[in-house]
Every structure is written in C-alpha cells, then in structure tokens.
Amino acid sequence: MLSLQDESIVSPQLQKIFERVRQSADFMPVWQTEKVLSEELGSDWRNKVASIDMRPFAAASIGQVHQAKLPDGKQVAVKIQYPGVASGIESDIRNLLATLNLWNVLPAGLFAENLMDVARRELALEVDYVHEARCARRFKELLTPYTDYYIPEVIDSMSTRQVFTSEMIEGISLDKCVGLDQDIRDEIGTKLFLLTLMEIYEFQYMQTDPNWSNFFYNPVTKQITLLDFGATREYSKAFVDKYVRLIKAAVDGERKAVLEHSRTIGLLTGYESRVMEDAHVEATLIIGEAFSGDGVFDFGKQSVTQRMAGVIAVMIDHRLTPPPEEIYSLHRKLSGVFLLLAKLKARVECGKIFRQIYKKYQFG
C-alpha cells in the first residue's frame, strides 16, 4: 500500500524503494517449480500443456507466474505458489505479533491483535487457489453485463490449491498508465471508481486488494481487466445497509447522522471522548467530500490524504473499540483505489456516479 501513497505522505525516493520491493521476488529454481507442478497437477503434468516457459515472467506476492500454451493453442498464465507459504502463516503472524508486543511499538488504539486475527483469516483464503478460482468465476458472472470490465477465464484442469491457471491477457498495468493522456486516465479512473461502488452497493462482493498489478488497461478494447481474486470477500446485506447509510450521511454533511450510524455499525461505542467523536466525524466527512458535489473531483489536486493523516493519528490515540471485521478489507480497498486514482491524477465525476448508484440501492 505504501508504494501507492502520494508524495505528500511518502517521499518520491522512498516510493521508488517500496515500488522495487513490490515488483521484486526470488524465483524458485526449475527443479522446485517442476516438483510443485508434479505434486499439484500429477506426474503427467507436461501432457496438459503444449509448452511452458520455465522462467517466470512475473511475481505474484506468494508465487510466480509462467507463460504456457495448452494443447488447443490457448495461451495461459500459470501461477505457482511458493512451497511452505500456507503452512507458515500461523507461525509468521504469531511471531510478528510477539515482536511488536515486546517492543511496544504499536499504540493500543490500533488493536493489533484484532488486526492480526483478521489478517490470519484473510491470508488463509489468499493462499487457497481453489478459493481464488471460485471467486474469479463468480466475478466473471457478476460483470458479464458490464462490458467495460474483463475477467480472464479460469482453466479448471490446470488449477489446484497451489496452482492457478487462467487465460493470458493483453494490456498495460496501471502503474504504466500514469504517463497516458489525461482523457484516458480520466476514463480509467471513472471505470475503477464505478466498479468499486458497484462491488459494495450492487454485488456486496469485493476484490479487496488494490495492488497496481491487479488491474490492466487494454487500449484496444478500452476495458479494465481484473486479476488476482484471492482477497475477494462477501459482505452481508445487513452490514452493507448500515455502511451505505453512513456514507450517505457523510456525503450530505450530517454530523449527527454520521455519529448515529457509526455507533450502529460498530465503529463507535457511544462512550468516546469528545475529541474522538470529533476526529471520527471529521475523517468521515472528509471521505464524503469526494462523493458529493456536481462537478469533477480532481484526484491529482485533492488534499484528502494529507488531512486524513492528522485526524487518523488522533483516532488511534483515543479509539475505544476495534472496527468491525468487514471494515479492514473494505477500507483497504477504498483507500487503495483512492490512492491509485491520485497517482493517475484522474478526474472523475464522483458525485454523479455516487448518486446514480445510491438511487438504485435497495435497503433490506
């Protein structure tokens, strides 16, 4: 997430370091790659492909990606998980939490143990490529009516818990789109913003990892291609109803309603200090600014990230309760998309899009 931050929060030099870390990875030697493929796809796995490049062309956070061709000629991307990743999650998180507690580096208001519990459950799903395949298929169904988006086909015969295969896609990753013409960046930004709202309001189903490399732009079809569905999760209608009411109160600038809905959804207990209440309401109203108004919201000139930084520091010092579990993944996606659009310097009619989506929303 730090590699997406704007220059007012993280220096350009530090951003480059984070970006290099995000892009880099140690690749498995060929013998180890073949061992995983044999264990997952069977000893005859080579009969399932016409050819495969044993040198990976991309990293995938917990694995590496190879280009291959199926016997029918279809070009595919084969994502192979690093051995031991799944089995090491529990011990890694436990050791991290112990180290943080030992050095007392995290404020109590961050509720580190709750954060780690959520991370543990989410990571357990992310390392299960069967789960990812299921999520990708569902997303493909959900987005079928929306031709601005494309989900690659999952190749079931080449997908297991540690190997995920899908059709090869064409396009430009969004980190390569920052130099495109303004109108193209505006188009990309509009489509991403609309998709994010549809995930919450219409689908209650969201791919919650906003990494640059999970989105590609196809300059020929003008489509946004979505990749990596391991962090996909569903939200209950009851939760979304509460969240939608909270966001609408923020858009309308109704401070009292923001407090009421924040307590209802579980962000506040009702016993917070005035300092905490004021900071929480201020943060929520700042977010609501992007969804209000009739004109274009210029993500390249916004001051939201700077203003939020100071308010969040106050909230961490005075928070009495951890947020609902759903908030961690939801706000990771929302903040990530916001920062991504800021990097693109996209101009989006956010208020118009929000009103259109909200008008169609049906409360349970």
Which residues are known catalytic residues? 209
Assign residue 275 a region (left: φ > 0; alpha: ψ between -120 and 50; beta: otherwise): alpha
What is the rounded CA–CA span in Å between residue 179 and residue 329? 29
What is the rounded CA–CA span in Å between residue 356 and residue 250? 17
350 by DSSP, 3-state: which?
Answer: helix
Question: For residue 189, which of 329, 298, 320, 272 has the smallest C-alpha distance?
Answer: 298
Cα(first)–Cα(last) distance of the chain, in Å? 34
Amino acid making up residue 321: T
What is the rounded CA–CA span in Å between residue 253 and residue 248? 9
Question: For residue 274, which of 322, 312, 318, 325 has the smallest C-alpha distance?
Answer: 318
The tokens describing 19, both together, are: 């970006």
The tokens describing 215, both together, are: 């989105």
Residue position matching structure tokens 């005075």? 318
Question: For residue 154, which of 136, 138, 170 has the smallest C-alpha distance?
Answer: 136
